[in-house]
Structure 1
């Protein structure tokens, strides 16, 4: 506590606080902020009304003052920002004679002042240095004060510069060499066609207007194999359990759920087609399990698929295995495994009315959801959760938490990601 301060004596009269009712024609006291130089206390300021005020208030007033060397004036933009940010104050006036304190009826926003040195008002601003000038100055500074490593980097950069003047005489020869070298390069359309050809998916149509026509059925299952698939054994069954037992692969929730629908004799007009699709998809499930083992045994795989026609089994081996050079043994490579899965998923889409639940297939195939999602995306599907309206349109009863791979026409494949440059 300041020892020279006087304590208020008990019973001393407190100052009276009133709210001023000054007329709005007079702005009254104004607040000012000096961001840099503090003017002398003897500096006088005047207030000016804006010609086109925003409103009838003191906020539309600017103040100005000057000394012998510096001019001070309100910075309208900064003052407006301060007012918009809610920087406002209540001003109180203390009358020493009467001992009263009067509060102004409205709050005040501060005036942000900017200063101008009178001696520099006539000086012309210098032009900003060009990129070349900046680089030369930076190089000179590095050569003078830089470390050995910095100086070595500067010299290496100077060596790598191209002398444009020396290139003028040989530019025609350079361009001619570029044109000759570019003759063997593919055009954008040719590159796209080559990329589409090398996709590990079934043959497709980019001009198809219906999802059914994007992946033609007989481009996945040849017509001869399709006709060879027999459903007579299913007609002699009386229960879903018996019908599921006829499949080459029966340990699949996706297959079993669809067999409950399409395996029964009264399933509808699409029963024969969908039942054949389920039979072939079951064969792909079985072939995938055999190919996933460390040692692919062709004889055991054929034995497991013995209920299928021989040309169907031969087709599976020819499309989804490879033979090493000078060898008669079959091998399941990463390429053939990927191609098998995309063929399987394309057929699942046909059975599911082109909206397949990815979680079920991920569980049945014992592969991650991310891998299943990527394979469906490579087929041109969009993998996401469906809205209530979309599920109703597709006839789905699953909850909104499940993700579905949906194929729509025309097909749109994901673009290849370009590597970022370091």
Structure 2
């Protein structure tokens, strides 16, 4: 006879099909409630007790004295065991968490807001130990070790290159004193800032100047540019006894618009200045000398043949001051430095004729040079390239329309341009 099997499953009772009901907590909002805790590393035992404290002032245990909602209050959770302290590391914001408590007897689930805390832990035995300071070298070594293990092929090559270029400081400890002593001996011979400035001023490619001058006319004395022996050979009378059309042929360099304009203006004035006429004649000699020196080989005899109207004294003076001879040759050479020196002497004379306010564009066209290069030479003489003020226009007797043209102005006290420092590369 077959035995009847008895089912061990619990029969469904009548109340099991009832739906669960949820209600909000009716307790005061500020009353201490449940707290959600997250332990990302070490979890404490279930017997560990925790306390909740309010922050933002003197920490105190929370009760039901505050009116604010418990979940919104800034709080922290703290607890401890025999070896570990637990405390809140942070309290996440931006999310709202709810905790439900289900009552089996009534079938009601009560919902209440709850804060969330992420807890960190501190080992009690390690609290009294100070952290070891990490040096820059240790950081570099650790970074190199990571690069060797996980870096790309390119990163590993860079690490090896850096290791090869590393300087062994310990190997230089024995020579530190010797290096310091040699550096001190070497720096003793270096000039001071004032001495270096004086050396730079003395080697400038400009005429002899008076740094203590109080007026522009005293900066570059006339006979420091044109020696008295050469000055006596210059004659202004031939330009005053002929007409305008006959004056230009008397000049050795006849294509200078700057010279022709000034010569006509001076000779046609009621009281022509013979000094300025002689200066213009000498400037014409210098321009012709420069043109001839650049285009052909120099030689005293050849120069005198080319410049038939120039006295031998002037020819000898230009050759001696603005040429130089190589060691292996007696033939004079017109170098770039001598050309610069010739131009600055010429510009000093131009400033004197122009009452120390010269139109550099007109001179640049006469010399077939750029205005910028001519302005640079005027600046090296202590001039400022600027537009004239109304006072300057009135002093020079120029019309108001000349205010738009920049001119080289020589002012006192004399100031030479300072050398530019090297720009730092980014």
TM-score by length of 1: 0.63
Deviates more, 1:299-308 or 1:239-248: 299-308
Number of matched residues? 310
Q: Deviations over 1:249-306 (max 9, x none)?
A: 12111101111222347335xx122112111111111112112315456545323433
Q: CA deviation at 1:195?
A: 1.9
Q: Quick one: distance in 2 between partners of 1:215 and 1:122?
A: 85
Counterpart position of 1:301? 303
Counterpart position of 1:183? 188
Counterpart position of 1:258? 262
Unaligned runs of 5+ in 1: 1-64, 73-115
Q: Deviations over 1:93-139 (max 9, x none)?
A: xxxxxxxxxxxxxxxxxxxxxxx99758999xx99987556545543
Unaligned runs of 5+ in 2: 1-70, 75-90, 95-114, 123-130
Q: What are the residue-to-residue correspondences of 1:20-419 with 2, within 5 Å?
A: 66=72, 69-70=91-92, 135-158=140-163, 160-161=165-166, 170-235=175-240, 237-264=241-268, 266-267=270-271, 271-293=273-295, 295-296=297-298, 299-397=301-399, 398-419=401-422
What SS does the corresponding residue of 1:292 show, helix, strand or coil? helix
Q: Quick one: distance in 1 between partners of 2:375 and 2:201?
A: 19
Q: CA RMSD in A?
A: 3.4
What SS does the corresponding residue of 1:384 show, helix, strand or coil? strand
Q: CA deviation at 1:393?
A: 4.1
Q: Deviations over 1:322-371 (max 9, x none)?
A: 22334343322212111111111111011111111111001111111121
- Asked if the contact 2:299–2:331 (Cα under 8 Å) also holds between the matched residues in 1, the reply is no
- Asked if the contact 1:254–1:360 (Cα under 8 Å) also holds between the matched residues in 2, the reply is yes
Q: CA deviation at 1:224?
A: 1.9
Q: CA deviation at 1:407?
A: 1.2
Q: Deviations over 1:119-163 (max 9, x none)?
A: 58999xx99987556545543443334445544443444455556
Q: Quick one: distance in 2 between partners of 1:175 and 1:202?
A: 43
TM-score by length of 2: 0.63
Q: Deviations over 1:310-330 (max 9, x none)?
A: 211110111112223343433
- Asked if the contact 1:142–1:150 (Cα under 8 Å) also holds between the matched residues in 2, the reply is yes
Q: 1:140 to 1:294 in 2, by over 3 A?
A: farther
What SS does the corresponding residue of 2:364 show, helix, strand or coil? helix
- Asked if the contact 2:385–2:409 (Cα under 8 Å) also holds between the matched residues in 1, the reply is yes
Counterpart position of 1:81? none
Q: 1:131 to 1:267 in 2, by over 3 A?
A: farther
Q: Quick one: distance in 1 between partners of 2:266 and 2:406?
A: 23
Larger radius of gyration, structure 1 or 2?
2
- Asked if the contact 1:240–1:259 (Cα under 8 Å) also holds between the matched residues in 2, the reply is no
Q: 1:260 to 1:163 in 2, by over 3 A?
A: same
- Asked if the contact 1:71–1:118 (Cα under 8 Å) also holds between the matched residues in 2, the reply is no
What SS does the corresponding residue of 1:228 show, helix, strand or coil? coil
- Asked if the contact 1:342–1:376 (Cα under 8 Å) also holds between the matched residues in 2, the reply is yes
Q: Quick one: distance in 1 between partners of 2:232 and 2:119?
A: 96
Q: Quick one: distance in 1 between partners of 2:278 and 2:331?
A: 30
